[in-house]
Structures are given as structure tokens and as C-alpha cells.
Amino acid sequence: MSLLQISTHFWQQLAKADRPVLLLDYDGTLAPFRVDRDQAIPYPGLRELLGEIHTETLTRLVIISGRAIDDLLPLLGLEPPPEIWGCHGWERMFSNGKRSTAALPASAQAGLKEALALLGEKNLDRRYEVKPASVAVHWRGLPVEEQARLRRETETTWNHLADRSGLQIHSFDGGLELRCPGKNKGTAIREILAEEETGTPLAFLGDDLTDEDGFREIKGRGLGLLVRQENRPTQADAHLRPPDELFAFLEKWRTTVRSTSRLRQEK
């Protein structure tokens, strides 16, 4: 995918926009995957570029992640931090720092508590991650045979629990997640779109299967970009290979919108 294949019309609309919207997934999009997920920091130089987009242009910069907000903030490392939607939209932090968290049904809370207990019984403590609206099991970096065994064991442990509690099992790159239904990256983007005027230029960049909900939601209103080394069937409009093509897109965004911002300041 070449940057030149993104329509000229998109860049023309971006140059005219009062406040364009840039929506970004984190893991696999801004930060390469790491076996130790606590070491997943942005590509070198990307933090600075995002900081310039956030503070020097008119862009509404939004991070939409499966991670909890408190987990994401130190890794992202932007000051001031942008708007962040965490846990697939269950958490929201506005650009002024104000936060809101959607309430989980009692059945979902009980189901997630039981899921943790079951994982503990199987000595998977080091492999799971607890979030406000889900529990995830990670196996990135393990041998293929061990990954397959862990998937089978986790699915077996969670299947009946999911049926009883109304929770859902979702795959992602490197693991499984038991999640409360009702919110995902698509519903987060839907809420963001409702806050924006029709015609506002928008782009959503993501890499994972969990980002497909977002690509479907933005279709017809903005640009969906799949960011990963290998292409795959997707609802996104185009494919960018990181880090070079990712940087090229963001740099062109920064240049286009900063030029517009300066012209308005001069007036």
C-alpha cells in the first residue's frame, strides 16, 4: 500500500477541516508487540510526532484501546495526554483529564470474578490480565504447541461460564478475552461520530481483529487503515505497513493540518 493510493480528496478535505479527528488503536498499531506487554512502547520517534499532532494542530486525537486507561498512559507517554477510550470503550478519559466508566451488569461482574478464580486454579496467574470489563489470557512468545494447549484449556474453562453469565469470548493477536458485551471499538467510534458534524474528516488506524468493529463503523464517514506487516481480509479501506508507511501517513497528516492551523492563526 502506497500513501499515494489514499485519495487526493481525503487530503483536500483534511486541509479544509476546522477540527479533523484522528482515531488510533495502540498495541500493534502505534507500538510493536512485545512478549512482555508492559514493554510495548511506541515506535522510536512516534511519541514526538503524535505529541506535535496533539498540541500543534487542530486535530482531535483519540486513542481507542483494549487496554485499561491506567495501563496505557505510562506506555503512551504523551504530555498532556489525549482523549483515550480504554477497555474497548468501557472507560473514557477526556482531553481535560475527566473520566467516566460505564457500569457492568451484576451478572457480568460475577462472571468475571469466577473466571479469575478458575484461571487461578489452573495456575495461569502469570498469563492473565484483569481489566474493568474483561479478563484476558496472553500467550504471545510461547511455542506453538503451548499456545494451542493454552487456547484449548482457556476456551474449555470459559465456555460454560460465558453462557451462564452473558459474557463473550473474543480472539485477539496473542490471546483470548472474556468480555462483557455491549461495547467495542465500533460503539466507541459511533459515539465519537455522533459528537462530530457530518463531513468532518476522520481516520481510524488499527491492526487487530478487535479493530474490525471500528472499520465497519467508520465506513462511509471516514478512512479506515489496517496497520500491519501482512495484509489480510478486512473492512478497512487501505493497508499501511509499519513503521515506515505509518510514519508517512501521520507526518502528512501533521503537515497538512498544521499548515491549516497556522493560516487560521495568521488571519
Supply the pTM of this predicted model.
0.88
Alpha helices in the chain (DSSP H): 8-16, 46-56, 69-76, 106-121, 144-165, 185-194, 212-218, 244-266
The pLDDT tens digits of the residues spanning 7-65 come to: 888 999 999 998 999 999 999 999 998 877 888 999 999 999 999 999 999 999 999 99
CATH number of 106-179: 3.30.70
Please name which of 265, 259, 262 lies closest in space to residue 15, comparing C-alpha atoms: 259
Q: What distance in Å separates the CA atoms of residue 158 and residue 29, rounded to the nearest whole number? A: 28
With residues binned 3-state (H G I as helix, E B as strand, rest as coil), the percentages for the chain, rounded to 5, are 45, 20, 35
Give the cell for residue 50: 503524535
Contact 258, 12 (CB under 8 A): no
Residue 50 CB-half CA count within 13 A: 26
CATH number of 3-101+184-266: 3.40.50.1000
Residue with cell 481510524: 204
Give the cell for residue 52: 506535535
The pLDDT tens digits of the residues spanning 194-204 come to: 999 999 999 99
pLDDT value for 10:
93
Domain limits, the chain: 3-101+184-266, 106-179
The pLDDT tens digits of the residues spanning 55-105 come to: 999 999 999 999 999 999 999 999 999 999 999 999 999 999 999 999 999
Please name which of 37, 18, 3, 12 lies closest in space to residue 261, comparing C-alpha atoms: 18
Contact 9, 246 (CB under 8 A): no
Q: What distance in Å separates the CA atoms of residue 39 and residue 242, rounded to the nearest whole number? A: 18
End-to-end Cα separation, the chain, in angstroms: 37
The pLDDT tens digits of the residues spanning 153-198 come to: 888 889 888 888 999 999 888 899 999 999 999 999 999 999 999 9
